[in-house]
Amino acid sequence: MFPLHDRGYKRLFSHPRFFRQLLETFVDEAWVKDIDFDHCEKVEKSFISEHYKETESDLLYQVKLKGKEAYIYILIEFQSTVTWFMAVRLLHYLSSFWLDYAESQPQSKKLPAVFPLVLYSGDDKWTAQTDLAELLEQPELFQSYTPQFRYFKIAENEYSPAQLLQIRNIVSTLFLAETQYDLDLLKTELLNLFTQEEDKAAISLLLNWFKQLVVHGRREAIDYEELGQIYQSQVEAKQMIETAIAKERQQIFEQGKTAGWIEGEAAGLAKGEAAGWTKGKTEGRVEFLMTLLETRFGPLNSAQQKQIYRLDAENLLKVSAKLWAAQSLAEILSEST
């Protein structure tokens, strides 16, 4: 289990989208909104002690915060049991980073600010103290000489399904898959992600993570196949829509170029032929749109089909353009009335 999480989770949160959503969604600190996420840089270093490399991993990001350099240190904890002295271990890792920073940049006489974050994906309830002072026998005895340190903790199993479903982004879907596994629910959320999330590479990365769970025997192969089919069908449907829209735009452009001929010399029979061609083309668009709608939302009833057939060429194009962003068939049909 641990090697899988080590490779998988580190790869997931090495992706800028996962990193950004983790902070923006799950770190309730005012300064998060001031991070320049477009210019974050992952530092290729690890400060994990050799003894703990099988049960945890770490990520270090250099960020710009109000124009100044700062760092986000993420310790990913995999083991189910909770280490009571986690604050000491994390402080040791941060101290190792600061030593490395001081030695590699001797010209600098100041150490950068670091935000320490623990991401816990284990099964047990997190019981370790996040404040170092809570671990000391008599913290007040040498108060002036005792380090003041605490870390921010994100425990996946502390979020209810309702909370994660309300968030509805890539990271919350990952947490949902880890803590409240329900295949039907994941199907729905994957469809929602594909509709809402612009970064399709991040979605693909999440799906690949699920595949690794299958490879390592933590999920059934048929579950991955079902999710994979949903993802692929959405990719293909989106490509069909984009292709159709591009063709429509080209046809409108071509029609504009020949409009003078249609209105002039093509008055008699040619005009009748053009009208028939236009009608046939519109009916073809209707059939194509019906196919896309049923692919996206399931079979249409007779009333819904009639409503689509009543659309003219201009409105057919508008509905096709809105198809991918719509959350339901009712939303599309309400806009087409």
User: What DSSP letter does each residue of 71-121 carry, written as one string?
Assistant: EEEEEEE--SSPPTTHHHHHHHHHHHHHHHHHHH-TT--SPPEEEEEEEE-
Share of the chain above pLDDT 90, in %: 38
pLDDT in tens, 198-256: 887 888 788 777 766 544 444 444 444 544 454 454 444 444 444 544 554 455 455 55
Q: Are strands 56-65 and 41-43 parallel, antiparallel or unpaired?
A: antiparallel
Q: Is residue 80 part of a domain?
A: yes
Which of 217, 232, 247 is the last residue before a domain boundary? 232
Q: Is residue 76 part of a domain?
A: yes
Angle between helices 269-297 and 302-309 (to 10 degrees): 140
User: Do 180 and 164 touch, CB atoms closer than 8 A?
Assistant: yes
Place of tokens 């236009």: 278
Q: Is residue 250 part of a domain?
A: no
Task: Tell me, yes or no, whether 198 and 68 share the same domain.
Answer: yes
Going edge to edge, which strands form the sheet with 152-155? 41-43, 56-65, 68-77, 113-120, 152-155
Task: Tell me, yes or no, whether 150 and 22 share the same domain.
Answer: yes
Backbone angles phi, psi at 142, to 5 degrees: -120, 50
Q: What does the alpha-carbon distance between residue 295 and residue 8 come to, in Å, rounded to a whole number?
A: 32
pLDDT tops 70 at residue 170: yes
Contacts of 276 (CB under 8 A, 6+ apart): none
Put simply, whether the predicted model's pTM sits higher than 0.85 gets the answer: no
Q: Work out how many domains the chain is built from and give that number.
A: 2
Task: Tell me, yes or no, whether 147 and 290 share the same domain.
Answer: no
Q: Among 12-21, 65-74, 309-318, which is the least confidently predicted range?
A: 309-318
Q: What does the alpha-carbon distance between residue 187 and residue 171 come to, in Å, rounded to a whole number?
A: 15
Q: Is residue 45 part of a domain?
A: yes
- Cα of first residue to Cα of last residue in the chain, in angstroms, is 54
Task: With H, G, I as helix, E, B as strand and everything else as coil, classify residue 220.
Answer: coil
Q: Is residue 253 part of a domain?
A: no
Task: Tell me, yes or no, whether 304 and 221 share the same domain.
Answer: no
The alpha carbon torsion through 202, 204, 206, 211 (nearest 10 deg) reads -160
Q: For the chain, how big is the Rg over CA atoms in Å?
A: 28
Q: What does the alpha-carbon distance between residue 310 and residue 69 come to, in Å, rounded to a whole number?
A: 59
Provide mean pLDDT across the span 87-103.
96
Measuring CA to CA, how many Å separate 258 from each of 193, 251, 253, 274? 42, 11, 9, 11
Task: Tell me, yes or no, whether 53 and 100 share the same domain.
Answer: yes
Q: What does the alpha-carbon distance between residue 82 and residue 157 come to, in Å, rounded to a whole number?
A: 13
- pLDDT at site 295: 67
pLDDT tops 50 at residue 118: yes
pLDDT-based confidence at residue 67 (cuts at 50, 70, 90): confident
Task: Tell me, yes or no, whether 222 and 85 share the same domain.
Answer: yes
Mean per-residue pLDDT over the chain, rounded: 76
A 10 A CB-CB count for 18 gives 21
Task: Tell me, yes or no, whether 165 and 281 share the same domain.
Answer: no
Q: One-letter amino acid identity for 124?
A: D
Task: Tell me, yes or no, whether 217 and 158 share the same domain.
Answer: yes
What is the span of the domain harbouring residue 269? 258-335
Q: What does the alpha-carbon distance between residue 203 and residue 174 come to, in Å, rounded to a whole number?
A: 10
Q: Is residue 249 part of a domain?
A: no
pLDDT in tens, 260-296: 444 444 444 344 444 443 444 455 566 666 767 776 6
Residue 74: strand pairing partners: 59, 117
Task: Tell me, yes or no, whether 109 and 205 share the same domain.
Answer: yes
Residue 62: strand pairing partners: 41, 71
Task: Tell me, yes or no, whether 199 and 274 share the same domain.
Answer: no
- What letter does residue 130 receive in the DSSP assignment? S
Backbone angles phi, psi at 149, to 5 degrees: -155, 140
Q: Is residue 37 part of a domain?
A: yes
Q: Is residue 246 part of a domain?
A: no
The alpha helices in the chain, defined as continuous H runs, are 2-12, 16-26, 86-104, 161-167, 170-179, 183-196, 200-215, 221-257, 259-263, 269-297, 302-309, 313-322, 329-335
Task: Tell me, yes or no, whether 128 and 22 share the same domain.
Answer: yes
Task: Tell me, yes or no, whether 187 and 262 share the same domain.
Answer: no
